[in-house]
Amino acid sequence: MESLIDAVNAALEAGDWSQVVALTAHLYEMACSEGETLFAELVQDLHWMSHDALVHPLEVARVVQT
């Protein structure tokens, strides 16, 4: 799970939202299978925030600039 977390962090730092969406889907499944429910909920939130960043890129750019 650590290597997947590292990959998510790298994708976040690069602003690669589509990669974050893909990786967090896998990380969520892994966290659930290991009984890490609180962590899984946080990963799910990150997944949907990243998805929103893909759907609304201009809004994200505006927020990041402020």
Contact 8, 23 (CB under 8 A): yes
Q: CA 33 → CA 1, 30, 42, 65, distances in Å?
A: 11, 5, 15, 38
What digits encode the pLDDT tens for the residues 7-50? Answer: 999 999 998 999 999 999 999 999 999 999 999 999 999 999 99
Q: What local confidence, expressed as pLDDT, does residue 65 receive?
A: 78
Q: CA 49 → CA 19, 28, 35, 37, distances in Å?
A: 13, 14, 23, 18
* Whole-structure pTM value: 0.84
Which tokens go with 2? 């650590």
Q: What local confidence, expressed as pLDDT, does residue 18 receive?
A: 95
Q: Which of 36, 60, 40 shows the shortest CA–CA distance to 50?
A: 60
